[in-house]
A and B are shown apart, each in its own frame.
Chain A
């Protein structure tokens, strides 16, 4: 997925830059403060040699003078450093916040097609772990991007000023270390990529074993799974050691440079000092040069760390950009129709495929008058859900058109369309919050009375009343504290609150007992006869009283008519009748 538009690191970073937004000021302040801090720090080092020379000369006044200068410089450095920390914290956190928000807002624009593409866990990883990685890299980069080059240039300059005859040493050493650090990081990178890919495999293995624990135990698979796990674990271990063996060169190469420079300076410095009797170079200058060496190496280290950070953050940044760049497959048209005349539905020569050319709906031609109750039955994979998804424009047809109220769904404003076409999804969800809050998803201005009216129709009032907190009962995430049947009834009530012209129930009473199921249908017919209703079910019982029944098989409508008609002329329907009417269903009581 990512491979197809492989941006360069800088393009990726460039795409993320706008998210600094209102924290631009913080960023600039960070830069200014870091700059000031760095200036003070090098000045401290610069004056240090005079201090040492004064000590050597036994000049008490000079010692105090330089001590005061250095101390005040250090103080300013501390102050600006603290300020830099202060501003960079909010710049980085703000950057992270904006990225997260941009992604979340983007996801809200996603159509079903986009949602299918990204799994929930991948979205969560992107909005959390990936953002954290990029945010940390950002925090480090905005500080180092000023500091490292500045320290390096200044220290080098000062070395030249102090003793240019010796400064050539750095011209040899700096490029060497720089190259070494970059080479090490680049060599290690592919191994790390391999490791992290293997990590996914490892996690998958654990996940499978935790989820399938009963299977593992039933079939005594522990040993086999252990071996499998060990193999993955071994791979990670070996490669990690390999990568770290490379990274272990980092410290030594820095040390090599520092130590090498120190020795070179000691030799040439000593000769210069002794030969000139201290006139060309002072003892203080010698130790200052050594201090500068440390500073140069520190800045090099910073550069290499930034490089590593960028490499690590790169994958994360790409994953963020990928999500933000995702084009919503379905958007409202420019001059949308904002009113839906009635609940009539028409399919004209509709063909549909999720993937390129694997058609799952073939040549569907149907039309239903407003207020019709339509039952849809067929085996799993016969595209029942796909068919009804097109009405609310959850997906777009590949060919042909779907009309609601006589107008192509593509011409409606999406919000208007979806407010009028209420879909109760098969895989439905309740959210953390009270029952009331959940119901108000359907209508945020619903009155108490309206709420109860909807729950009455959905046969949910009785059990809501039986809860001590009634409507204010807290629902836990995913609705885990109500039974499957209760959840389904709440979802139906929630959809009814939208006061739709078309209501689609996608196998939404499967967990209710047959009596409740029948009651819901009866109530719907009695109280809301005007609504066009589509009822998908696996049970003949649930749909046999519909005005019209569609029998679907492998993406085609193979039967259409009333129960009585289909019993006569549709083989598949007859088969279903025979297999189901043989006996009841023991789901019965919840």
Chain B
């Protein structure tokens, strides 16, 4: 797939709106991960957060209510005055300071502990989700990948998991600490004085409402900004990937004009979105200060008039110290609201991401109801296979029946299609009534125009897709009954697009057969005509390939992929346009490799070069999903049908 599929992954994609219900579902599932894998961590974290937030608040209480009211001052209400040095209760004071020290020390320790533990939870959950996502992705049916761009799938791994990390490791601890602090403060405020608490609640509601309004406006523009970002991204992506065309057409100026349009829009919305977000903080901060003033006014008035206030301790006269500590609580109560609101956008993005991640994880896996297995076997006296544990180089299908008996059939590579219909999208049948058979060792070629259904037929053999109607049999066994892994193990595949993986040449060839010894790799490479050039690479078989093997020529990559298929030594091979993008001189080299590995196997070939097809045992001409002609080259030429037409048309102007 071209990299252009990665377009706009950072921007527009993330903006599909996620309903509130989905968000709640995502939160619940995230928490499930936490509870399942980190119950102990979680308990400890909760405990530590409580201690750390209460520690801070309790400290304020000790400074205000205990040290000031009980030691520095004496008396009640307005008759309060500073104690004389001789009356100062040194012992009590020292104890209070020590208590304060202990409270603070435990708050600090707990603060560290929960941050530390939280990183295990955050990173751990994230790792589990990422691993699960990857493992699940491997099991998804091929049709899943057809229906979305690779960029979209990549984006789930990068952007969505990233957003999740942001939330799990940064926002979540902050929000939980904030929430805890607010709760503790609230209790302490109630404990101190209820009428003053009412003032704080009033302000709290005001701040909350303001926050909601700002956040709503800001996220409206934030979304527009993301959409514009996506568009700008897309423009840059498209134009940059066509930059060479831009150059040869002197299109630069017009290109810049086009870019500016997007860039200016992005700027416009970015300004608006950030303005709303930036305005929130100072507003909340200053409302906090105003609240301070109002509290001092109300508190002062109550103190002057010695009005008793209701608190959890009962009716009490407000003291100076009480007001001081109350002011502290009120500040600690209000601050988190602003902080949390700043994280709303991150939360929204993360939850949207989590929803998409879970959507992938919830996509049903490729179904595999197969129970027929491929086993090592030796030949019994009657020529029938007998199952053995060790590698024998011979394979048999092990077919258990419902009555408990087990059948063994030699793996030979006999394949039949009986009245097969297939549709990628239900109702839109692309293959009609396919009937064919391939005897072991036969070479079957498919020809026909692009989109006729050639590749589709081979995709049914290895069960990338399941047929709608009819039957495909492998050595007489319905392939639906064969375990997919075993079925695919018995098929070798070489595609036009070689898809080598990052790793050494050796590893790449071994991908064809993970149990292969180095010797087997050399042999397969020799067979595929690849050994000689591999040995000339800087590190021979240990040369590391990156980027899909981009340091090799296309022909060399193809040779490695042929060796990869050969090392599995499968009885059936599928060669899908394996040589079509190679020039004809290089093809001769590759062709030799291919001819060598085709020997003695059932081979299905899709190709458009006649030289590849001509010597096939059977050639099927496919058109619009139907086999319209079949036979060997001579027969088809004699028939003077479509094949003849294609063949002679191909050499028009000779």
With A54-B300, A262-B59, A441-B251 known to touch, is A514 a contact of B652 (CB < 8 Å)?
yes
- State whether the Cβ of B648 lies closer than 8 Å to any Cβ in chain A: yes
Which of A111, A221, A255, A286 has its CB near the most chain B CB atoms (within 10 A)?
A255
With A55-B303, A63-B300, A514-B652 known to touch, is A111 a contact of B247 (CB < 8 Å)?
yes
**Are B283 and A78 in contact, CB atoms less than 8 angstroms apart?**
yes
- State whether the Cβ of A526 lies closer than 8 Å to any Cβ in chain B: no
- State whether the Cβ of A275 lies closer than 8 Å to any Cβ in chain B: yes
Residues of B within 8 A of A205 (CB): 502
With A60-B300, A210-B150, A210-B153 known to touch, is A441 a contact of B249 (CB < 8 Å)?
yes
CB closest chain-A residue, reference B564: A219
Minimum CB–CB distance from B565 to chain A (whole Å) comes to 9
Query: What CA separation (Å) do A396 and B340 show in the bound complex?
Result: 58
With A120-B240, A423-B248 known to touch, is A212 a contact of B501 (CB < 8 Å)?
yes
With A48-B292, A203-B154, A290-B63 known to touch, is A82 a contact of B283 (CB < 8 Å)?
yes
Contact stretch, chosen from A356-364, A447-455, A573-581: A573-581
- State whether the Cβ of A394 lies closer than 8 Å to any Cβ in chain B: yes
**Are B97 and A263 in contact, CB atoms less than 8 angstroms apart?**
yes
**Are A244 and B501 in contact, CB atoms less than 8 angstroms apart?**
no
Minimum CB–CB distance from B118 to chain A (whole Å) comes to 8
Chain A positions 164-199 with a Cβ under 8 Å from a chain B Cβ: none
CB closest chain-A residue, reference B10: A128
**Are B263 and A101 in contact, CB atoms less than 8 angstroms apart?**
yes
Which of B150, B229, B327, B651 has its CB near the most chain A CB atoms (within 10 A)?
B651
**Are B256 and A88 in contact, CB atoms less than 8 angstroms apart?**
no
Residues of B within 8 A of A423 (CB): 248
**Are B499 and A498 in contact, CB atoms less than 8 angstroms apart?**
no
Residues of A within 8 A of B324 (CB): 52, 283, 287
**Are B278 and A86 in contact, CB atoms less than 8 angstroms apart?**
yes
Residues of A within 8 A of B238 (CB): 431-432, 477-478
- State whether the Cβ of A311 lies closer than 8 Å to any Cβ in chain B: no
Chain A positions 226-249 with a Cβ under 8 Å from a chain B Cβ: 226, 229-230, 233-234, 236-237, 240-241, 244-245, 247-249
Query: What CA separation (Å) do A226 and B286 show in the bound complex?
Result: 53
With A60-B301, A203-B158, A249-B112 known to touch, is A107 a contact of B131 (CB < 8 Å)?
no
**Are A262 and B63 in contact, CB atoms less than 8 angstroms apart?**
yes
Query: What CA separation (Å) do A245 and B113 show in the bound complex?
Result: 9
Contact stretch, chosen from A2-10, A265-273, A400-408, A461-469: A265-273
Minimum CB–CB distance from A77 to chain B (whole Å) comes to 5
**Are A270 and B320 in contact, CB atoms less than 8 angstroms apart?**
no
**Are B236 and A210 in contact, CB atoms less than 8 angstroms apart?**
no
**Are A584 and B236 in contact, CB atoms less than 8 angstroms apart?**
no
Residues of A within 8 A of B592 (CB): none
**Interface bracket on A:** 35 or more
Chain B positions 598-631 with a Cβ under 8 Å from a chain A Cβ: 607-611, 613-614
Residues of A within 8 A of B253 (CB): 108
Contact stretch, chosen from B182-190, B489-497, B517-525: B489-497
- State whether the Cβ of B447 lies closer than 8 Å to any Cβ in chain A: yes
- State whether the Cβ of B548 lies closer than 8 Å to any Cβ in chain A: yes
**Are B247 and A208 in contact, CB atoms less than 8 angstroms apart?**
no
- State whether the Cβ of A315 lies closer than 8 Å to any Cβ in chain B: no
Residue interface bits B470-509, CB-to-A below 8 A is 1, else 0:
0000000000000001001101010100010110000000
Residues of B within 8 A of A109 (CB): 252
Residues of B within 8 A of A270 (CB): 67, 71-72, 93
Minimum CB–CB distance from B200 to chain A (whole Å) comes to 16
- State whether the Cβ of B400 lies closer than 8 Å to any Cβ in chain A: no
- State whether the Cβ of B100 lies closer than 8 Å to any Cβ in chain A: yes
- State whether the Cβ of A139 lies closer than 8 Å to any Cβ in chain B: yes
- State whether the Cβ of B233 lies closer than 8 Å to any Cβ in chain A: yes
Pick the residue among A120, A244, A515 that contacts B652 (CB under 8 A): A515
Residues of A within 8 A of B264 (CB): 97
Residues of A within 8 A of B582 (CB): 380
- State whether the Cβ of B586 lies closer than 8 Å to any Cβ in chain A: yes
With A210-B154, A587-B608 known to touch, is A55 a contact of B256 (CB < 8 Å)?
no
Kindly list the 5 A-B residue pairs having the minimum CB-CB distance in the complex, ordered from nearest. A584-B650, A81-B282, A85-B278, A583-B610, A248-B115
10 CB-based A-B contacts, threshold 8 Å: A51-B300, A74-B289, A85-B281, A94-B271, A124-B237, A244-B119, A278-B82, A418-B248, A498-B249, A584-B647
**Further 4 A-B residue pairs, CB within 8 A, beyond A418-B247, A515-B649:** A208-B499, A215-B493, A274-B72, A514-B649
